[in-house]
Structure 1
Amino acid sequence: MNSIIYRITGLMFLAVAITVFLLIYLANSQMTDLFQEYVTVQQMEMHRSMITHMGPGGHGQAVMMGTSEQNFLTSVHQSLIWVGVALLVAGLMASYALARSITIPLRTVSAAALEIERGNFAQKVPVTSKDEVGSLAVIFNSMAETLDNNSKLRRQFLANIAHELRTPLAVIQGHLEGMIDGIIEPNQKQLTSLHEEAVRLSRLIKDLKDLSLAEVRQLSLEFKAVAVNQMIEQALYMLKPLADEKKITIEQNLTQGLPLITADADRICQIFYNLITNAIRYTATGGQVTVSTELTKLEEQDWVKVTVADNGPGIDAADLPYIFDHFYRGDKSRDRKSGGTGLGLAIVRQLTEIHGGKVQVESTVGKGSSFYAMLPANVHEKAIISSSVLHNDRVLYTYQDKAN
C-alpha cells in the first residue's frame, strides 16, 4: 500500500468524493427549500384568485405539497445520487489512470537503473511524454549512454595499457632469456637496446601516473609566477637536437611583454614540450614548425595563447574529436617508436585544464595542424585552495572552482 500509484489514486479520489458529496448535499437541501417556496407562491396566487371569484366570505385551503410534488422531489434527489455515484466511479477511474501514467514510466526508469547497478549500461527507457517524467527519461538515457561510453573507454584504456606495457617487457624478457641461455651475446649493442626499452617503459609508467593524478586533480603542483616565453624557449632548447636530426626549421613568433601567469613551471614546460615534440614527430624531414604567443581576450578574461603549428600531413576531420584521448593515434600504422606512447596530448589537455586553461586543435589534411594552448593570465583568481598536504617535499593542492 506504500506504492505511489495508490497514494495518488487515493488523494485524487478523496478530492473528487468530497466535492461530489458537497455538491449533492447542497443541491438536495437547496432543492427542497426552493421547491417548497415555489409551491407556496403558486398556491398563494391560486388562493387570491379564488377569493376574488368567491367574494369576501370565501375560505382558502392550507398550503401544502401534493403527491406529485413529493414524487418530483424524490426523483430529483435520486437522480442527484446516481449522478454523484457516476462521478465517483469516473473520478476513481481517472485518478487510477493518471497515477498509472506517472508511475509506469517511473517503474521503467527504476528497472533500468537496477540493470545499470548490475553493470548493464546499455539501457534505454522510452520517452512517452514531454512533461517532467519525459524529461527524467531523457536525462536518464543521456546518463546511461555516458556511463556506457565511459565503461567502453575504461576497458579500451586498460587494454591499451596492457598492450603498451607488454611490448617493452617482452623485448626485455626475450633478450635477457637469450643472454641467460647463451643464445645472445651480452655486448654493448644489446645492453643499449635493453636500456632504451627500459627507459621507454619507465617513461610510459611515469606518463600514466601523471595522467591518472591529473584526471582526479591530485597532481603535485608548485604554483608561482611563470613567464610563458621563457618556458617555450626552454622547451625549444631541449628539443633542438630532435629538430636538427630531421632538419626541421623552428620559427619563433613570441610576443614580448606578455603578463606572467600563476602556474607550475615544470608542468607548463611539459605542456609545451609535448606539443612541440608532437609537431616535430609528425612533420616530414625538412619541414617547418612555428611556435607563437600572443595575448588575447575572451569572455572578459585575458588569456596567453600559445600556438604550435606544423606543415605536416594534417589530421583527418574524423580523428579530431579524439586526438586528446588516451593512446589515440590518427595514423594507425605508426608504432610506439614513431608515434610515441599516445599519452602526450592527453597529458597536455589535463595539465592545461588543471591550470584553468583549455587546448584546441585545427587541422587540414595535407597542409598541417595547429594546436592552441590558452592559459588564463590570472589563474590564481579562478580557483581557491580547499586543502593542502605536504607530499615528497612538495605541496599537493586540491583545487575547487569558486562558482561551485
Structure 2
Amino acid sequence: MTSVKAKLGAVVLGSVVAGLAGGAFLLLQGFRMRYSLVIAVVVSVVVIQVLARGVTAPLREMAAAAGRMARGEHGVRVSAAGRDEVGQLAAAFNSMAAELERTDAQRRRLVADASHELRTPLTALQAQLENLADGVTEPDPAALEVALAQTQRLSRLVAQLLDLSRLEAGEVPLHRRRVLVRDLLESAAAEARAQCAALGRDVAVVISLDEHPDPPDDGEGLVLDADPERLAQVLANLLDNATRHSPPGSAVHVTGRLQEDDGRPTGCLVLEVLDAGPGVDPADRQRVFDRFARTDTSRARSAGQTGGSGLGLAIVRWVVDLHGGSVRIADPLPDLQPAGGCRVVVTLPA
C-alpha cells in the first residue's frame, strides 16, 4: 500500500471482521451473547496487535537506529522497502545517515591531514632550531634561511586553512570592482616569476591575452566585475602548483580569452594555466579540488619535491564558485603542451 492511512484502515477493518466472525461463530456454537461479545473483543484486540506490529515495525527500527546514530554509529541503515510515507521517511533517514557518515569521515580526515601537514614544517623547524641551540649548526644566514622557509611554509598553511574555513562558512564577502584582466595576469605572472627566482625554480611564466575586437570596455581591454584580491589568490595558487611541478627549463603559459559560441562572445572569460609537468590522471581530475587531496600519479609528492599543502586548489574552487564561475582540469593542448602536462581552465562571468 502507498499510504499509511490505507494500512491503518486495513488494520481496523481486519480487526472488526475478525471480531464479528469470531462472535458469530461462537453464537452458532451455542455460546451466550455476553461471552461471545467478550471473546470477540479479545480477538479484535489480538488481531490489531498483530497487524499494527507490522505497520509500526519500520518506525521502531528507525527509533533504534536513531539511538545508535546518537552514540556515533553513523554506518547504521534501516530497510526502506515500503512505498508509503513510512518508506519515504526510511529512505530520507538512510540518506541523512549516509551524509552524516560522509561528513564525519571528512572531519576525521581533515583532522588527520591537518595534523600531518602542520607536523612536517614544525618538525623541520624544531630540528633546525635544536641544532642551532646545541651548536651543531652555526647560526649563519644559510641555516637561518632554512628555518625561515619552514616558518613561512607553516604560516602559509595556517593562512590557507583559515581562508578555506571562512570561505566555506560564507564569511568572506566579495569586494567587487572593475578589474582589468591584463593587469591581473601581468601582476600574477610577475609574482610567480619572483617566487621562482627566490625558490630556484628554472621555470618561465608566459601570459597571452586574446582580446575580442569589440570588447565592452571602452577600449581599455577585457574587464571583469570581480574581487581582485581573491582572483589574484586564485592565479597565485594555480601558478604555484604549475611552477612547482614543471621541469627545469620549461614554461608555464597563462592565457585569457572571451568564451565564444559560433563566433560570438558568450559573456564569459576563460583563463587557462598550462604547465609541462606530469599532468593529472583523468580519474583524479575532480578529486584534486578537495581539501588535502593527493593523487597517485607522479604529480603527487616525490623525492626531492616538498609538495603543496593540498589546500590551494580547494581555495581556487571556492573563490571561483563565489564569483559564479567554474574550474576544471582539461586535456592538454598539443600546440602549447606537446609533452603533456596539466591544463586548468577557469571560466568567469565577464
Normalised to the residue count of structure 2, the TM-score between the two structures is 0.74
1:350 and 2:318 aligned: yes
1:371 and 2:335 aligned: no
Report deviation, 1:15.
10
Q: Deviations over 1:158-212 (max 9, x none)?
A: 1111111112222222222222222322111111111111111111111111111
Which amino acid counterpart does residue 326 of structure 2 have in structure 1?
K
User: Structure 1 residues 264, 318: CA separation in 2 closer, same or farther (over 3 Å shift)?
Assistant: same
Report deviation, 1:347.
0.8
Match of residue 12 from structure 2: 13
- Quick one: distance in 2 between partners of 1:97 and 1:228? 73
- Quick one: distance in 2 between partners of 1:336 and 1:206? 25
Match of residue 184 from structure 2: 231
Equivalent pairs: percent with the same residue? 34
Q: Secondary structure at the match of 2:120?
A: helix
Q: Secondary structure at the match of 1:361?
A: strand
Match of residue 69 from structure 2: 116
Answer whether contact 2:58 2:86 (CA < 8 A) is retained.
Answer: yes
User: Structure 1 residues 288, 86: CA separation in 2 closer, same or farther (over 3 Å shift)?
Assistant: farther
Match of residue 262 from structure 1: 225
Q: Secondary structure at the match of 1:338?
A: coil
Match of residue 24 from structure 2: none
Q: Secondary structure at the match of 2:289?
A: coil
1:140 and 2:93 aligned: yes
Which amino acid counterpart does residue 151 of structure 1 have in structure 2?
D
Q: Secondary structure at the match of 1:107?
A: helix
**Counterparts of 1:45-60 in structure 2 under 5 Å?**
none
Normalised to the residue count of structure 1, the TM-score between the two structures is 0.65
Answer whether contact 1:13 1:92 (CA < 8 A) is retained.
Answer: no
- Quick one: distance in 1 between partners of 2:268 and 2:277? 27
Which amino acid counterpart does residue 13 of structure 1 have in structure 2?
V
Q: Deviations over 1:358-387 (max 9, x none)?
A: 22222479722222222234xxxxxxxxxx
Q: Deviations over 1:225-266 (max 9, x none)?
A: 223333122111211245674244625143343664332210
Answer whether contact 1:255 1:292 (CA < 8 A) is retained.
Answer: no
Q: Secondary structure at the match of 1:271?
A: helix
Larger Rg: 1
Match of residue 140 from structure 2: 187
**Counterparts of 1:198-237 in structure 2 under 5 Å?**
198-219=151-172, 221-237=174-190
Equivalent of 2:131 in 169, 175, 178: 178
User: Structure 1 residues 253, 96: CA separation in 2 closer, same or farther (over 3 Å shift)?
Assistant: farther
- Quick one: distance in 1 between partners of 2:314 and 2:304? 15
User: Structure 1 residues 302, 91: CA separation in 2 closer, same or farther (over 3 Å shift)?
Assistant: farther
Which amino acid counterpart does residue 136 of structure 1 have in structure 2?
L
Match of residue 252 from structure 1: 208
User: Structure 1 residues 176, 287: CA separation in 2 closer, same or farther (over 3 Å shift)?
Assistant: closer
Report deviation, 1:12.
5.6
Q: Secondary structure at the match of 1:128?
A: coil
Q: Secondary structure at the match of 1:226?
A: strand
Answer whether contact 2:192 2:205 (CA < 8 A) is retained.
Answer: no
Report deviation, 1:14.
7.9
**Counterparts of 1:210-359 in structure 2 under 5 Å?**
210-219=163-172, 221-241=174-194, 245-248=201-204, 250-256=206-212, 257=215, 260-296=223-259, 302-330=267-295, 331-334=299-302, 338-359=306-327
Q: Deviations over 1:273-324 (max 9, x none)?
A: 21122222222233343322333489xx843222223342221233223101
Between 1:259-268 and 1:90-99, the stretch displaced more is: 90-99
- Quick one: distance in 2 between partners of 1:87 and 1:167? 78
Q: Secondary structure at the match of 2:92?
A: helix
Q: Secondary structure at the match of 1:339?
A: coil
- Quick one: distance in 1 between partners of 2:187 and 2:51? 70
- Alpha carbon RMSD of aligned pairs, Å? 3.7
Answer whether contact 1:290 1:308 (CA < 8 A) is retained.
Answer: yes
- Quick one: distance in 2 between partners of 1:179 and 1:349? 41
Uncovered stretches (5+) of structure 2, i.e. residues with no partner? 21-27, 29-36, 217-221
User: Structure 1 residues 311, 180: CA separation in 2 closer, same or farther (over 3 Å shift)?
Assistant: closer
User: Structure 1 residues 362, 87: CA separation in 2 closer, same or farther (over 3 Å shift)?
Assistant: farther
Q: Secondary structure at the match of 2:268?
A: strand
Which amino acid counterpart does residue 351 of structure 1 have in structure 2?
V
- Quick one: distance in 1 between partners of 2:303 and 2:310? 10
- Quick one: distance in 1 between partners of 2:318 and 2:284? 19
Answer whether contact 1:311 1:368 (CA < 8 A) is retained.
Answer: yes
User: Structure 1 residues 274, 95: CA separation in 2 closer, same or farther (over 3 Å shift)?
Assistant: same
- Quick one: distance in 2 between partners of 1:199 and 1:313? 27
Q: Secondary structure at the match of 2:281?
A: coil
